[in-house]
């Protein structure tokens, strides 16, 4: 009889514990979100631009997510000085950092969003009296629109011209003409060597029908582009 009473007591405790567990709220486990964006992440750049009619000079200073400090100086879109953590990089090694130059240049080229103008203060209301109308609150001025993203054709043409400068294939961009497709690469009427064509083909062409044709002379510009790239990449 005693054993039977003890057995019922133990069962009662087990059932009570299971009921308490079932009523206890379960906190969902949240996995941390990882950053999957490729390339470097830079802190806000310090940009200085000087254009006195003899050439446009741009100096950019940036710091990436690892704390590395970069200083980049360009004259007319051509890199003339580059250092990492205070160490000057030799000009013959600039080709190793072309993608990094483009990332810093893209950050420098992106126009900042204009600040929203402050809302004018509401005039204080006079004490309410009989038959006294309250002045209406002036409307809030509209917020200016965000500048549109530059069109993709200009983005890719600009990158190809920068690569041509970095590779010393051109000295100036006016006049300038080039044609890049799966049959070859021609710059200012000169067909480029196979090694140069292969490098630009791998970087800019994805489909057999892709091509980039550009002609600029004085104030006239002609562009013919076919590409399936929907979002600019770090190219």
Name the packing angle between helices 98-109 and 152-166 (round to 10°).
140
82 lies in a domain? yes
pLDDT of residue 36: 31
Last residue of a domain, one of 89, 108, 127: 108
Number of domains in the chain: 2
Q: Considering only 29-38, 62-71, 98-107, 186-195, which range has the smallest mean pLDDT?
A: 29-38
| 209: in domain | yes
Comparing CA positions, the residue from 116, 114, 86, 82 lying closest to residue 99 is: 82
| Residue 36 domain-assigned (yes or no) | no
Residue 139 lies in a domain: no
Out of 18-22, 34-38, 172-176, the most confident range is 172-176
Residue 42 above 60 pLDDT? Answer: yes
Residue 203 lies in a domain: yes
Do 222 and 163 lie in one domain? The reply is yes
CB 71 within 8 A of CB 61: yes
Q: What is the pTM of this model?
A: 0.39
Is 90 exceeded by the pLDDT of residue 191? yes
Measure the CA–CA gap between 123 and 131, rounded to whole angstroms.
20
CA distance linking residue 181 with residue 205, whole number of Å: 7
Looking at the structure, do residues 222 and 157 belong to the same domain, yes or no? yes
- Of all helices (H) and strands (E), which one includes residue 177? strand 176-181
pLDDT at 109: 58
Q: Is 20 domain-assigned?
A: no
Tell me how far apart the alpha carbons of residues 121 and 174 are, in angstroms, rounded to a whole number: 52
Identify whether 29 is part of a domain: no
| Domain extent at residue 206 | 152-226
**Same domain as 165, residue 100:** no
> Distance between CA 133 and CA 195 in Å, rounded?
81
In a domain, 176, yes or no: yes
Residue count of the chain, please give it: 235
Q: Tell me: the pLDDT tens digits for 43-87? A: 656 777 776 666 678 788 888 788 888 888 888 778 888 898 889
Could you tell me if 156 and 220 lie in one domain?
Answer: yes
Are both 99 and 159 inside the same structural domain? no
In three-state secondary structure terms, 145 is: coil
């Amino acid at each position: 009889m005693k054993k039977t009473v003890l057995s019922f007591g133990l069962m009662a405790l087990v059932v009570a514990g299971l009921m308490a567990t079932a009523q206890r709220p379960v906190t969902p486990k949240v996995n941390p979100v990882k950053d999957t964006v490729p390339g470097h992440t830079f802190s806000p750049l310090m940009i200085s631009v000087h254009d006195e009619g003899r050439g446009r000079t741009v100096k950019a200073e940036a710091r990436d997510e690892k704390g590395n400090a970069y200083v980049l100086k360009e004259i007319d879109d051509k890199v003339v000085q580059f250092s990492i953590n205070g160490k000057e990089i030799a000009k013959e090694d600039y080709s190793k950092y072309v993608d990094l130059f483009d990332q810093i240049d893209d950050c420098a080229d992106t126009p900042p969003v204009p600040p929203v103008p402050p809302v004018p203060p509401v005039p204080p209301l006079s004490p309410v009296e009989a038959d006294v109308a309250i002045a209406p609150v002036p409307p809030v001025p509209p917020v200016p629109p965000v500048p549109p993203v530059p069109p993709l054709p200009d983005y890719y043409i600009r990158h190809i011209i920068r690569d041509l400068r970095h590779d010393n294939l051109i000295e100036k961009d006016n006049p300038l003409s080039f044609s890049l497709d799966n049959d070859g690469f021609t710059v200012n009427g000169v067909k480029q060597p196979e090694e140069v064509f292969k490098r630009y083909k791998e970087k800019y062409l994805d489909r057999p029908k892709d091509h980039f044709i550009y002609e600029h002379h004085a104030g006239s510009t002609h562009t013919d582009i076919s590409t399936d790239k929907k979002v600019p990449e770090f190219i």
